[in-house]
Chain A
Amino acid sequence: MLIQDNLILTRSDPSGNGGTQFIYRLKNYGLTAVSRPQEEISMIHWEVEIVKFSDEATARFEICHTTELANKTLKFYTDKSLNEFLGKAFQYFEELGSLEKMLPQEP
């Protein structure tokens, strides 16, 4: 089972292709993990995207391939490996938030 920290939404994959999507959020960044139907149980895996949220009030986001975490869609074959990545990602998002605060603010 995936860790539940920073989990803001669990929903059926909106693409309609079946499967469950977990959305994690930490400040303006986060990640989505979707597990879709596969022909064999052993083929089931997670597809993970790093995302940047569009606003604070909704769960709308854009896929973000420009962080140091990942420049592509990631695949994880076990909950354990994804959980390890989630831990690292949360730490990175915390630091990213702190760094962004150091940037000069637009008037």
Chain B
Amino acid sequence: MANVVGSSVCRTAEDEGKPADWVPGGEKQTVVDPMKMFHELPREMQFITGSEAARESMRRANIDIAIAYPITPQSESMQQAGYLYDEGFIKEYYRAEEEIGTFSAISGASRAGVRSLTATSGPGLMRGMEAISSWPGARTPIIMLNMCRVINTPLAIQPDNIEMSFMLNTGILMLHAENQQDFYDYPLAAIMASEQVDVTLPAVVSVDGFFCTHARGPVKVTPAEYKLPPRDGWRSAVPAMDNENPPARISRDAPIQKSNFISYHMHASWQQEVFAAVERSAKYFRDYLGGLVEVINPGADDFIIASGCAVSQAREAVRQEGEQGRTVGLVKVKTIRPFPVEEILDAVKDAKRILIPEFNQAGWLHKEVCSVLYGRCDAVIKDGPRVFGGMTMPTEMILEWLAEFRKEVK
């Protein structure tokens, strides 16, 4: 049985129930320079859900393999990935048995040198954390889409991004999408940054579930006939496994895998290199995303620092304050890892009050910001408002906190 014409994988038209002359959609696309895709190609406005935005991002991402296990609210995005597989935009795709299996399998795929995508939500992410924690040290540039939801009891399926706090110190690149547009743009940028030779790390693009995944929003997309360049598995910090010449070596330095005999020095230097690579990725994200942060009203006395959906609510609070003649600054943190230390310091250097609204109980962004600003900024930093477990954050809540804050800190 012959392969599909021009296909690099053993997927036949007959296997797929397609006409004999079927050509996978991905093979009709043209590879384009990433910077051209991100900044120069014309864009068409669509009004689509976050899940559909993820689909359009995946369509242009030149993905070799996708493996996932369904969990709400991620299920719909991976259902969309299934459609892309059917159309031939994703070369291989299967549903794994559960999350440890998913994240172990995707690691194997990435080690084999192909562009590998997975996706999950809250409890699924927690179930697979053992495998996920091993990705950065294995130098596997996996892309994971994470649709945040409640993980703690009483369980819910509503938005809550506490799960992101569990990934902060793994060595994974972390981006936090504000809206459907970001959930289209960030995965493409994350893929290209994560596969750079001096990075070679996995990347997670998180989005607050339901608010973005299951609601429509305006998204400007590039033409579908263009896709990112393919992954070159040999052009990475740790070369891909040579699966055609078994036994394949899992890593270049075999002792790394021998946990009982590993040198402490080897572990330490390996991990130091992982976190150095996280910092090195910043220059790529600056180019691809136009900066690690977005700053509105620089120089204001009052500032809000936020990520994810909290940015949208803060953005509207800033607009309403403006209608009242009060200037409030806003820092939207796009990349959580690498954390934009210098950008935040520069933005809030003259601020008196900083508010940090979050959709989680832990206040992980507040802790991150405090660790950066401690001793380097005179502003009073307030950890709130915080909502969690699926609670909503009306704009009025941020406005009330700002008013109280002004009374407390003159």
Contact = CB atoms under 8 A, between A and B. Distances in A.
A16 interface: yes
Given A11-B315, A11-B319, A37-B214, A16 B179 contact: no
A35 B212 CA distance: 11
B394 A41 contact: no
B216 A11 contact: no
B392 A41 contact: no
Contact of B316 (A14, A17, A18, A38): A14
A59 B322 CA distance: 11
The A contact surface, by secondary structure, is loop
B49 A41 contact: yes
B interface SS class: mixed
Given A20-B215, A57-B323, A59-B323, A12 B313 contact: yes
B211 interface: yes
A15 B213 CA distance: 18
B395 interface: yes
B323 A16 contact: no
B47 interface: yes
A16 B45 contact: no
A11 B309 contact: no
Contacts of B392: 15-18
A106 interface: no
Interface string B213-232: 11111100000000000000
B215 A11 contact: no
Contacts of A15: 392, 394
B46 interface: yes
A52 to B, nearest CB: 17
Given A11-B315, A11-B316, A60-B323, A20 B49 contact: no
Contacts of A16: 313, 387, 392-395, 397
A19 interface: yes
Contacts, number: 73
A18 B211 contact: yes
Contact of A14 (B45, B49, B51, B396): B396
Contact count band on B: 20 to 34
Given A11-B316, A12-B309, A19 B49 contact: no
B386 to A, nearest CB: 13
A19 B395 contact: no
Given A1-B45, A41-B76, A57-B323, A12 B214 contact: no
Contact of A12 (B51, B179, B323): B179
Interface string B259-290: 00000000000000000000000000000000
B316 A79 contact: no
Contact of B216 (A39, A44, A59): A44
Contact of A20 (B216, B319, B387): B216
Interface in B353-410: 387, 392-397
Contacts of B213: 37
A60 B213 CA distance: 29
A10 B316 CA distance: 10
Nearest to B387: A16
Nearest to A43: B214
B395 A10 contact: no
Interface of B: 45-47, 49, 51-52, 76, 159, 179, 210-218, 309, 312-313, 315-316, 319, 323, 387, 392-397
Given A35-B215, A37-B211, A59-B323, 9 more contacts: A2-B47, A10-B218, A15-B394, A16-B394, A16-B395, A19-B216, A20-B217, A37-B214, A41-B49
**Those 7 A-B pairs whose CB atoms lie nearest each other, nearest first:** A18-B211, A16-B392, A12-B312, A16-B394, A37-B215, A37-B214, A14-B395
Interface of A: 1-2, 10-12, 14-20, 35-39, 41, 44, 57-60, 79
